[in-house]
Amino acid sequence: MGPTAAQHPIVRVVACGSVDDGKSTLIGRLLAQTDSVPDDILDYARTTRRSGSTIPKGEVDYSMLTDGLEAEHEQGITIDVAYRHLYLPSGRRAIIADAPGHEQYTRNMAVAASTADVAVLLVDAARGIRAQTHRHLTVCALMGVRTVIVAINKMDAVDFRHVAYEELAGGVRAAAARFDLDEVTVIPVSALTGDNVIERTSTMPWYHGPSVLETLAAWQPSPVADDQVAPFRLPVQYIVRADNFRGYAGTVVAGSVRPGDKVSVNATGAPATVERIVTYDGDLEEAHAGTAVTLTLETETDVTRGDLLVAQPDASGERDFPRPASAFAADLVWTGTEELRHGRSYLLVAGSLAVPAVVTAIRNRRDVVSGEEMAARTLKMNDMGHVEIATDTAIPLDAYSLSRDTGGFLLVERVSRDTVAAGLTRHALRRAHNVVPHSFSVDRDARARLKGQKPRVLWLTGLPGAGKSTIADALERRLHGLGLHTYVLDGDGVRTGLNKDLGFTPEDRAENVRRVAETAKLMLDAGLIVVVSLVSPFRGDRRAAKALFADGDFVEVWVDTPADVVVERDPKGLYAKAKAGTLPNMTGVGQGYEPPEHPDLVVKGAGEVDDAVDLLIGALEVTH
Amino acid sequence: MAAVVATPEVVAPDAVLDALEAEAIHIYREVAGAFRRPVLLYSIGKDSSVLLHLAVKAFAPGRVPFPVLHIDTGWKFREMIEFRDRTAAQLGLDLIVHTNEEGRAEGVTPFTHGTHEYTRIMKTVALRQALDAGGYDAAIGGARRDEERSRAKERVFSLREPGHRWEPRKQRPEFWRTANTQLSEGQTMRVFPLSNWTELDVWRYIQRENIPVVPLYFSEPRPVVDRGGQLIMIDDDRYPLEDGEAPMTKDVRFRTLGCYPLTAAVESQATDLDALIAEMLVDRRSERSGRLIDGEGGGSMESKKTEGYF
């Protein structure tokens, strides 16, 4: 059995439509006529008018009830999601997420849809089905909204004609048929005159279905077959400690739990038995999805914030058991102002867990209007696409179709800390389970001991012409003379071989840095002292490189040379070419260089090379 | 056409309250787990009382893992201050009280500087001072989306740029229950666990959970003066009366509590929670209509928030 009405007292609704479809008026009328709006706000809507409003003063302009920010007031449009309460006649509550209609705010639509049970989608009867109609259906379906109420609005503008409704209803149903929806109700309405919004009226005697409010009030979660119900999931948010008490606090986001149930931590290792379900008001016999609880386990178990408590699978097998993996197929809704960078390290936030992650492949971008999947090299704001993602550590993620809370994740940009994407997990990639690094008996320490040295990666970053390669060369000669085993990974060197397929766009630079870092890591494991000489202009890319290494193994060295000096030197004639316009992505000219904010070491590229080498030798703690 | 009367006298109000409570507790735990130094902004009103109660519930049987901060303008009702100190002692709270001492020394009052400037100096600036002094990276507040029109667009986790500025266009998209709690240098977070509660929910919850509130919410004969249709209670002798004016005694209560010269009372006979809730279902004015500071200019809450007000 699925959740019952009592377990679903709040119905989440996303309202969407194109600009000028009359969405504000429809929502305003729903709010006003269910007594969900205070009287003084109603008075405001009687006396205040936007420019262009044709509603006489003294009457309620329902669109004014959902009026929000001053910035929107000036432009007469909605730019951000607003949340409003609707008291349903049944005693339940609806929270309406009022999503903006403009194409450039598709990401806000996705936000509003992410928690919604029901979508109310407006279609202007006079203007018909438009690109936005398809876009909003696509977003709602992708984000997991299974019930759609289509309000064919402004029926007054087409003289309430049955044939006009039938034509549009047919078109909408055809458009909706592409998606896996439980229920699509198409209602002819006039938000302006109120027909079929609250009650069915006589203006359209040919319509026998429910009104918009009746449909909302009657909504029930669709019954789910037993084998489709998500098993118990609880992401641990906080460890509650008191005298002789250690409990794991979090919200049951799927399934239910009872004392005595076997649960596993992150779907791995031996299961533990739930001892108590603790709340302030006393222990519970059972906790359902949506309940905030604190669990105690019978046996002492290592559980921390970010861990996921999961129902132990029954004898029938491991279906839906989210075995930790480090590669996933997922859909992304890109919300960042900067586009997706292939190979760049982001933070993946799932529940209370945050781990570094890289988009390793962009399978396609979906045209949200036609539904077509197209080849893509990147995703821009408001794009949706299918990607593959690799995480630094194995994490348990469910399929989004099983559970929104444990199948959905965010991608966070590591410098600005902005949310740049919402991710919807499709499935773990099998190969991630199957690649288990073999532990060899001769390890890095053994190799380093044989060489009598401490392996390190010195990462030299700086402008082209800063003197990185010169310093790297002098340093390696000095180390070699001391009998140490070294290797220099030079930017130009790797680009003639390992990375010859890469160019100089930000995406390709990210991949260049990633491959060099991985190579340096192998060499470190081989026991070598590795000197990397690479422009590596972006902080995010260098941070991702550093994240591959243990603390102390990676030394970021900024070769700090003034811009006028490097342009003057121009050893490869690159600045001259860039100035002439034949090198568009030249760092320092066409692209910016982001100097390290907290480098481990700074060497002056304009100074003596020997001084720089002395400084670096010191940092290597060479004991010879 | 007769409108369907959807009485808010709900069939299963407890179920709605349970869901709202669980959501608020979830938000609290996320704050405590994710931030280095959170603080609970306590304004002594009904929403703060509910916030405190939820904090106790969220971490039971453990203690509330953050301090409680009150910004005292020096013009709060005396009963509020008494209630604050009593509550802090009873719950064993780590209570921090901050006043903008420069503002006080300069004699900033609602009468001398106008409500807008007074609010900016004694509330907004004071709040920024206290947050900076404590090095707090997250401040929990009791704002609700149904309070005011610019609040309807507020996030649950609302980002503040360096200097505590609220930039509507830089707010992060909020998906599911998953919060992006990451901060870059100088950013802080304001967090609103009661975002989805209505005023009626707050009162019903206070009733259900038996939560103590300041007695000013209940009707009593109190000394008031009429200022442009708003009834202002004379709480001490600092309020400038007009020549020959004497306060009248009326049965009044308050729907929101703030600085006494800026908070209008409503005439009422509601002396207990049942009567108060019954009155609310009839009197359908929004609660902030009694707040004198919100009314100046169409988007005054929006502009105050941009400066760092809650």
User: Which regions of chain A are under pLDDT 70?
Assistant: 1-7, 19, 51, 67-79, 101-104, 224-228, 315-317, 431-440, 581-582, 584, 588-590, 622-624
Q: Which CATH superfamily is domain A5-218 in?
A: P-loop containing nucleotide triphosphate hydrolases (3.40.50.300)
Angstroms from A97 CA to nearest CA on chain B: 9
B48-82 confidence digits (pLDDT tens): 999 999 999 999 999 999 999 999 999 999 999 99
Taking CA–CA distances from B161, the nearest residue in chain A reads A416
What pLDDT does residue A9 have?
A: 87
- Whether the CB of A314 is below 8 Å from some CB of chain B: the reply is no
Angstroms from B146 CA to nearest CA on chain A: 7
Taking CA–CA distances from A195, the nearest residue in chain B reads B1
| A·B CB contacts under 8 A | 205
Q: What is the 3 state secondary structure string of A277-292?
A: EECCCCCCCCEECCCE
- Whether the CB of A291 is below 8 Å from some CB of chain B: the reply is yes
B165-219 confidence digits (pLDDT tens): 888 778 899 999 999 999 988 899 999 999 999 988 999 999 999 999 999 999 9
B86-140 confidence digits (pLDDT tens): 999 999 899 999 999 999 999 999 888 888 899 999 999 999 999 999 999 999 9
Is there a contact between B284 and A35 if contact means CB atoms under 8 Å apart? yes
Task: Decide if domain A231-311 falls under CATH 2.40.30.10.
Answer: yes
Domain count, chain B: 2
More confident residue, B236 or B3: B236
What pLDDT does residue B305 have?
A: 63
Is there a contact between A10 and B19 if contact means CB atoms under 8 Å apart? yes
User: In the CATH scheme, what is the code of domain A325-431?
Assistant: 2.40.30.10
What pLDDT does residue B188 have?
A: 95
Taking CA–CA distances from A117, the nearest residue in chain B reads B176
Task: Using alpha carbons, select from B139, B153, B144 the residue that is nearest to residue B98.
Answer: B139
Q: Does A451-619 match A231-311 at the fold level? A: no
Answer yes or no: do B194 and B248 share one domain: no
Q: To the nearest whole number, what is the mean pLDDT of chain A?
A: 86
**Chain A residues touching residue B6 (CB < 8 angstroms):** 33-36, 87-89
Answer yes or no: do B192 and B277 share one domain: no
Out of B8, B12, B285, whose CB is closest to A35? B8
Q: What is the 3 state secondary structure string of chain B?
A: CCCCCCCCCCCCHHHHHHHHHHHHHHHHHHHHHHCCCEEEECCCCHHHHHHHHHHHHHHCCCCCCCCEEEECCCCECHHHHHHHHHHHHHHCCCEEEECCHHHHHCCCCHHHHHHHHHHHHHHHHHHHHHHHHHCCCEEECCCCCCCCHHHHHCCCEEEEECCCECCHHHCCCCECCECCCCCCCCCEEEECCCCCCCHHHHHHHHHHHCCCCCHHHCCEEEEEEEECCEEEECCCCCCCCCCCCCCEEEEEECCCCCEHHHEEEEECCCCCHHHHHHHHHHCCCCHHHHECCCCCCCCHHHHHHHHCCC
For residue A275, give the amino acid letter: E
Q: Supply the range of the domain harboring residue B262.
A: 215-290
Answer yes or no: do B41 and B69 share one domain: yes
In a domain, B8, yes or no: no
Taking CA–CA distances from A421, the nearest residue in chain B reads B173
Answer yes or no: do B22 and B168 share one domain: yes
Answer yes or no: do B166 and B37 share one domain: yes
Out of B152, B180, B183, whose CB is closest to A68? B152
**Sign of CA pseudo-dihedral A405, A409, A414, A415:** negative
What pLDDT does residue A460 have?
A: 94
Angstroms from A22 CA to nearest CA on chain B: 19
In a domain, B114, yes or no: yes
DSSP, collapsed to helix, strand or coil, labels residue A332 as strand
In a domain, B7, yes or no: no
**Sign of CA pseudo-dihedral A397, A399, A403, A407:** positive
Q: How confident is the model at residue B295 (pLDDT cuts 50, 70, 90)?
A: very low
In a domain, B126, yes or no: yes
- Residue A425 Ramachandran class (φ > 0 left, ψ -120 to 50 alpha, else beta): beta
In a domain, B209, yes or no: no
**Chain A residues touching residue B177 (CB < 8 angstroms):** 251, 253, 351, 405
- Whether the CB of A104 is below 8 Å from some CB of chain B: the reply is no
A458-471 confidence digits (pLDDT tens): 999 998 888 999 99
In a domain, B159, yes or no: yes
CB contacts under 8 A, A 152-211 vs B, are 194, 198-199, 201
Q: Residue B129: which CATH number?
A: 3.40.50.620
Answer yes or no: do B84 and B219 share one domain: no
Q: How confident is the model at residue B1 (pLDDT cuts 50, 70, 90)?
A: very low
Q: How far is CA B176 from CA A395, A403, A412, B160, in A?
A: 19, 11, 15, 21
Angstroms from B33 CA to nearest CA on chain A: 5
In a domain, B210, yes or no: no
- Bridge partners of residue B161, in order along the sequence: B165
- Whether the CB of A95 is below 8 Å from some CB of chain B: the reply is yes
Angstroms from A464 CA to nearest CA on chain B: 29
Answer yes or no: do B45 and B157 share one domain: yes
Gap between the Cα atoms of A431 and A325, Å rounded: 9
Out of A34, A410, A415, whose CB is closest to B6? A34
Answer yes or no: do B36 and B78 share one domain: yes
In the block, which residue shows the tokens 């009746």?
A214
Is there a contact between B184 and A415 if contact means CB atoms under 8 Å apart? yes
Answer yes or no: do B42 and B158 share one domain: yes
Answer yes or no: do B166 and B145 share one domain: yes
What pLDDT does residue A511 have?
A: 86
**Sign of CA pseudo-dihedral A197, A202, A203, A207:** positive
Q: How far is CA B151 from CA A66, A111, B299, in A?
A: 11, 17, 11
ipTM of the complex: 0.88
Answer yes or no: do B285 and B302 share one domain: no
Q: In this structure, how many other beta carbons lie within 10 angstroms of the beta carbon of residue A120?
A: 27
Taking CA–CA distances from A213, the nearest residue in chain B reads B4
Answer yes or no: do B151 and B223 share one domain: no
Test mutation, A410, A416, A543, chain B, max B CBs within 10 A: A410
**Ramachandran angles phi, psi of A268, nearest 5°:** -150, 155
For residue A578, give the amino acid letter: A
Could you tell me if A421 and A332 are in contact, meaning their C-beta atoms sit under 8 angstroms apart?
yes
Q: In this structure, how many other beta carbons lie within 10 angstroms of the beta carbon of residue B72?
A: 18
Angstroms from A382 CA to nearest CA on chain B: 12
Domain residue extents for chain A: 5-218, 231-311, 325-431, 451-619
- Whether the CB of A29 is below 8 Å from some CB of chain B: the reply is no
Q: Which CATH superfamily is domain A451-619 in?
A: P-loop containing nucleotide triphosphate hydrolases (3.40.50.300)
What pLDDT does residue A370 have?
A: 81
